[in-house]
Amino acid sequence: MKENYQFDRIELSQSNMYNNIRGSKPIGDTTFEGYFKCKLVHGEMFSVIVPDLIYIMDDDKTFSWFQHYSFLPNHLNKFSEEEIFGTINIDIAWGHTLRITISHENHIENFQDHSNLFKCIIKGPKNLLEYSTGKGEIINNKPFIKLYHHTTDEIKELIEKSSYYLGSLWNYQGTKKIQSLCFVYFTSLDSIKQEQDLVQIAMASEGELYLIKDISQEIVPIKVYRENTLNRKASINQLIDSTIIMSNPILMHTQDDLSYVFYERSNPFIYRVALNSEKTLPFKNGIIFRTEDVSTSDHIILGDATTEIGLVAIFDEENTKQIFKIEPFYNSKTNILKFWFDNTNRDLYTEKKITKPKF
């Protein structure tokens, strides 16, 4: 038996047991300087900061990044026009929680995906770097992260010869085709060897996964793409511009005693890039940059985990009325923290137009 801190699992000879217990350990008292990429999104009655990427620099160019699994609503404080602070608790591997503190003063940039980048203070366990998910590099002042694409030997050869990926028309669930967009799928997992690895990328050898509703604990089966690990033996790893990676659908969980809610990043091992219909995603020297064919989303699917339709929404994506609308910050001089207090008690949801994919 091996405890794999990187991928949040216990590895046995014939299976991998992935952890699903979050926030079980107290927040550590060791302080790190890091970077936090995030978006501000609006629901019908509230707004929340959604994490995109957390990383700590290894040197002037490379960094270690941490895959997040769930997070609590943010807490913001304003003491003056220049002294604005935000804190958000974020769950990473093995039950550890990071406390991220950002400030107006340490806002760095707004990217094309409408995310903000902040220099931040991270409180976590002393051995935090042992729980990092992967490596990345700063290229053209943007964080690029190393991800993997797993396929067959034949398809890998075609991809490497052509130097591009063909976009897939299938949604997360692998059961519906989208007309207006296509996607290239990646993962942080370095290999797909066990049945449980397939589940982490929303596939199953039996073509079915099982979800659990909050409070009632009712089991909800859903159909997913039927696949075998034998078809995922060949791997390609590349550095990908993190600003072209879509935000995963989010599940809103309600504690059994109804005392509070928290948010789960669904299918956390899946990373996908949206392209305009029938377009390709090129790469050069193992690096994937933004191109004019990359589609930038203006919303994130939100699923209520107390309902069946909410659970299914994070896979299906079509039949849900619950969404988060992303606040656009690209080419703006403000940032999430200042914007929050400048727009207190305003309806930032109703009039904001979005473009939903066509199925």
pLDDT grade, residue 175 (50/70/90)? confident
CA dist 8 → 12, 66, 244 (Å): 13, 11, 25
Entry field: residues in the chain:
359
User: Which residue's entry shows tokens 């930038």?
Assistant: 296
Band of the pLDDT at 224, cuts 50, 70, 90? confident
DSSP 328: P
Residue type, 341: F
CB atoms within 10 A of CB 185: 20
User: In angstroms, how far is the first alpha carbon of the chain from the final one?
Assistant: 44
**Three-state DSSP class for residue 124:** strand
Q: Are 115 and 208 in contact (CB under 8 A)?
A: no
Q: Which has the minimum average pLDDT: 84-88, 219-223, 328-332?
A: 219-223
Q: What is the mean pLDDT of residues 320-343?
A: 94
Is the CB of residue 97 less than 8 Å from the CB of residue 70?
Answer: no
- Look up tokens 């995922």; give the residue: 232
pLDDT > 80? residue 199: yes
What pLDDT is attached to residue 42? 96
181 in Cβ contact with 279 (< 8 Å): no
DSSP state of 284: B
- What are the two backbone dihedrals, phi and then psi, of residue 128, each rounded to the nearest 5 degrees? -50, -40
Task: Dump pLDDT digits (tens) for 306-322.
Answer: 998 888 888 887 777 78
Q: Which residue from 198, 179, 238, 190 is spatially nearest to 356, judged by alpha carbons?
A: 179
pTM: 0.95
Cβ atoms < 10 Å from Cβ of 242: 22
pLDDT tens-digit series, residues 73-106 = 999 999 999 999 999 999 999 999 999 999 999 9
CB 335 within 8 A of CB 102: no
Residue 64 pLDDT greater than 90, yes or no: yes
- Say which range, 19-33, 69-83, 118-132, 169-183, has the weakest mean pLDDT: 169-183
State the Cα angle at 324 between 320 and 328, rounded to 5°: 140
Q: What is the mean pLDDT of residues 24-34?
A: 95
Rounded Cα–Cα distance for residues 269 and 248 (Å): 10
User: pLDDT digit string (tens) for 30-49?
Assistant: 999 999 999 999 999 899 99
pLDDT of amino acid 226: 76
Residues with Cβ within 8 Å of residue 203, at least 6 apart in sequence:
174, 224, 225, 226, 227
Enter the DSSP assignment of 279. Answer: -
The residues pairing with 328 across neighbouring beta strands, listed in sequence order, are none
The pLDDT of 99-114, averaged and rounded, is 98
Query: What are residue 216's DSSP bridge partners?
Result: none
| DSSP structure string for 289-313 | ---TTBPPPSEEEEEETTSHHHHHH
Q: How much is the pLDDT for 357?
A: 81
Q: Is the pLDDT score of 348 beyond 90? A: yes
**pLDDT at position 38, please?**
98
**What's the pLDDT band for 258 if we cut at 50, 70, 90?**
low
- Mean pLDDT over 288-313 rounds to 93
In the three-class reduction of DSSP (H, G, I as helix; E, B as strand; rest coil), residue 93 is classed as helix
